[in-house]
Amino acid sequence: MAHPSVAAPLPWPPPALEPIHGKLGPAIALIGLADVMLVLPILVSLGTPSPLGSLGPFGDAFWVPLASTVLGSVALVAGLQLLFRLLWNARDAARHGHGWRTVLYVAADEPRDTGFLLVGARAFAGLGPGQRDTLLAARLYAAAVALAAVLLMPFGLGLAIVLGRLNWAGQNVLWTTALILPLVLLLGGLVGNGAAGLLARAALRGAPRRQAMDPELHRRVLEWNERLQTLRGDRPTATGGPGKARIFGAGALAIVVLALVAVGPAMLLTVVGTVSSVIVAIATPSLAGTQIRIAAAEVLRRYRLDPDPSISPEAAGQALQALVWTGRAEDERPAGERRPVRSHAGPWWPADGAERYAQGAGWTDSLFARARRRSESGYLRQVAAHPAHAEFATIARAAAADIVGTRYELPFAEELSMMTLPFPPFGGLRLGAQAHIAKAAIELAEGRPQRAEQTIREVISTGLVLIDHGPTLIETLIGAVLVGTGGDALEALYRATRRTPEAETLAWVRGEVRRGAERVAGRETRLRAMPTMVLDTSLAAGMRWELFGIVAAFAPCANLRSIAFGPGADYENWLASARERLVRRPNDEALFALMQRGLFGAGRCIPLLGSVRIAGQMR
């Protein structure tokens, strides 16, 4: 039988609140751990300035933000799930009549002693009601502020990413919402928690020690059904107003929204950023082979024919378009490409003897050195008589060529992109160069060595025009091939005309330049070096245009900072400089604008490489 002088203990946790007892602290700790894994690496990526084209502060370890985001997102979802369950159970408890403050007392009761604190029992027996209320308020304050801090950090990050992509806010919002305010709140929570801890320890130091099996304590534990107001007759307990179930339910749903806002943008950003970085790292082409070809071609620039000022860039472009489509049917020409001003329907190499002159090792030597049967000479004379040979003479004597304006219907269609931009079949141009070399062989056989050398130099000059004025890497490569073909033919001509020292000197110089270029160009070109290369007017125009297309497509999405807030002023300044260096005539402006649309015409950050089409166009 209970002593009437001894108050019955308060049951703790109260009925219907057992599922949330002390669960707020673990949820805060788990969400805080998730913040460290999820937010900090992204903040480093977003907050660190990087050069144009850089993969970001993590460099080749661009997978680090993705890995930390995945782990952090898993931890954050787990922590938010704990918080969701807590609020949902609090909703049920509020329906049964518990006050909102009682619910918070139970949820924040990580030390498991709030029941004694409420009634001034055990270690808190020496504390007055005011002191106990202060301690309770300090605990609630510390928990609430800490919860706000750990929730604001991922929410602020997600919000800043969304606002940044919409161009509604800059990096100041990122730092304020995702770092500064959470740190201020966390500091406030630590101060509140420290104050509550000091008060609790002071109470525990003054509490009398009890034996483990105190009969009085055992009796008090068994008699647990007295109400809180009876035990605190000196001062009614502040349980708060009646809890509203819909408020706790709304809080639970808010946690779901918070999870989406915090995890969604961060995960999307890091996935897109990592995929873009991977694609950039893999798809950024090595231009070493192209640079070697161009270096070898430069050796032969001394053989370029003197330009004729009467040949306009437009006339040269029209001649090139006529050469490209020589021997091709009209229905092969894609939409958006201009009809050649002159058409040459016949093939360069008639089918009845083309297989005997397939280009290979020693092909040019066989043309200039080997005696031919009458039938072979007749076939080569037929090749040499093709009317399209005059187009080579036009291009070779041109100072420049307007390739864009004479190839495409301008302005470009709105739906056109770099991936759908039609490219002509350049393989025909290579066949034409071989036919022009065959024409030189016939001229030599007819006793006209000077005219033969001039014809070969027309091939070399045409290739150099493509290198100097071609708007894509395809033209640059084709130009280098033509120059190389002309160089081989020139060596063969010198040998056939007993100019052996000149032939050997030319062969030695070409070989040494190629080997030297292989030594210095063996290192793969990186994206961060490409913006500078675009502005380097000493490089081939086609290479610079190709690099511009790559940088315009990939540099704005090579790192997380650029994806979230845009490439910034450095990119805009680079675009202005690139336009000044690349656009030589009004028609070039159309190609410049087309490349800015991105590979698919959908803007920046499309992680595919348009130059994979080069191989197909070389056939």
Are residue 550 and residue 418 in the same domain, yes or no? yes
Percent of the chain past pLDDT 70, that is, above it, reads: 72
pLDDT on residue 607: 38
Most confidently predicted of 148-152, 235-239, 280-284: 148-152
Whether the predicted pLDDT of 3 surpasses 60: no
Question: Is 92 contained in some domain?
Answer: yes
Question: Is 318 contained in some domain?
Answer: yes
Question: Is 157 contained in some domain?
Answer: yes
pLDDT band at 459 (very low <50, low <70, confident <90, very high): very high
Boundary-marking domain end, from 240, 263, 283: 283
Q: Which residue has the higher pLDDT, 214 or 297?
A: 297
3-state class of 311 per DSSP?
coil
Q: What secondary structure, in 3-state letters, does 226-267 show?
A: CCHHHHCCCCCCCCCCECCHHHHHHHHHHHHHHHHHHHHHHH
Are residue 302 and residue 274 in the same domain, yes or no? no
Are residue 39 and residue 187 in the same domain, yes or no? yes
Whether the predicted pLDDT of 524 surpasses 70: no
Are residue 294 and residue 278 in the same domain, yes or no? no
* CA pair distance 558, 55, nearest whole angstrom: 5
Most confidently predicted of 4-13, 36-45, 112-121, 308-317: 308-317
Average pLDDT rounded to a whole number, residues 224-234: 50
Average pLDDT rounded to a whole number, residues 199-220: 53
Are residue 195 and residue 102 in the same domain, yes or no? yes
Task: Tell me what the pLDDT averaged over the chain comes to.
Answer: 78
Out of 7-16, 299-308, 394-403, 430-439, least confident range:
7-16
Are residue 262 and residue 329 in the same domain, yes or no? no
User: How far apart are the two ends of the chain, measured CA to CA in Å?
Assistant: 103
Question: Is 238 contained in some domain?
Answer: yes
Question: Is 252 contained in some domain?
Answer: yes
pTM above 0.75, yes or no: no
Are residue 178 and residue 43 in the same domain, yes or no? yes
Question: Is 494 contained in some domain?
Answer: yes
Q: Which domain holds residue 43?
A: 18-283
Are residue 366 and residue 222 in the same domain, yes or no? no
- Please name the residue that has the structure tokens 């750990």: 150
Are residue 71 and residue 155 in the same domain, yes or no? yes
Are residue 120 and residue 230 in the same domain, yes or no? yes
Residues 108-113: contacts with CB within 8 Å, 24+ apart?
A: 108/22, 108/24, 108/25, 108/139, 108/140, 108/143, 109/13, 109/21, 109/22, 110/22, 110/24, 110/25, 110/26, 111/22, 111/200, 112/21, 112/22, 113/200
pLDDT on residue 558: 67
Whether the predicted pLDDT of 400 surpasses 90: yes
Are residue 416 and residue 521 in the same domain, yes or no? yes
What is the domain count for the chain?
A: 2
Question: Is 477 contained in some domain?
Answer: yes
Boundary-marking domain end, from 216, 248, 283: 283
Are residue 185 and residue 214 in the same domain, yes or no? yes
Question: Is 4 contained in some domain?
Answer: no
pLDDT on residue 53: 61
Boundary-marking domain end, from 263, 283, 303: 283
pLDDT band at 307 (very low <50, low <70, confident <90, very high): very high
Whether the predicted pLDDT of 357 surpasses 60: no
